[in-house]
Amino acid sequence: MKTTPHYPHPILAKEGWAFIAIAVLTTVLSYIYIGFFLALFCLIITIFITQFFRDPPRNLPLNMNRYSVVSPADGRVVYVGSDVNPYTNEQNLKISVFMNVFNVHSNRCPIDGKIEAIHYFEGNFLNAALDKASLENERNAIILNTYTGHSVTFVQIAGLIARRIVCYAKASDELYAGQRYGFIRFGSRVDVYLPLASEIKVQLGQKVSASSTLLAQLPEVL
């Protein structure tokens, strides 16, 4: 395995620092001024919030090459198949990864490339495990031109509980595989659109890890 370079926020995501601090303070004050049982309840909540915002460094697959596409998120594969990419109007292969509240919610770039465009859409907050969430929920789509000449689109989608999509990337930014580019709070989904000739490396229902799981191989011939 090779480690993702320049990892900025090991162990705990910066998006969670304020939430964790408030939870810890509430626990301490509850113990001091109210009592043990409320403090214990607050401690359980604090542990849950802390585990949700964990953000450990990840390794890239040792056997990956410049055509390799890694998972942008932790979770379970809930869709694999052909579909129209609504951001390019092309027929693509789509892989969808659903993140529950116990998964790491830091999002990583699936392949090296340069961002062509970013599209944000307001929307609903349906269960992100449902396929219609891809088109109806709040979402943020990045269209990336890879250095192999392909176009890859990856989309952050808010879920039933999620109310905050964070994306630090900007149009024309260059990203590398495994680079942290965003975060979604409290349950969500990421869709990846690939050229039709790509070779899928995962199966429906499979658990995947951001940066560490190989999703697909792009075709070497355009």
Enzyme catalytic residues = 188
CA-CA-CA-CA torsion sign (47, 165, 3, 208)? positive
Q: Closest by alpha carbon to 112, among 158, 60, 46, 45?
A: 60
**Is residue 165 a contact partner of residue 106, using CB atoms and an 8 Å limit?**
no
Which residues, 6+ apart, have CB-to-CB distance to 184 below 8 Å?
99, 105, 107, 156, 157, 158, 159, 162, 164, 165, 166
> 175 and 147 in contact (C-beta within 8 Å)?
no
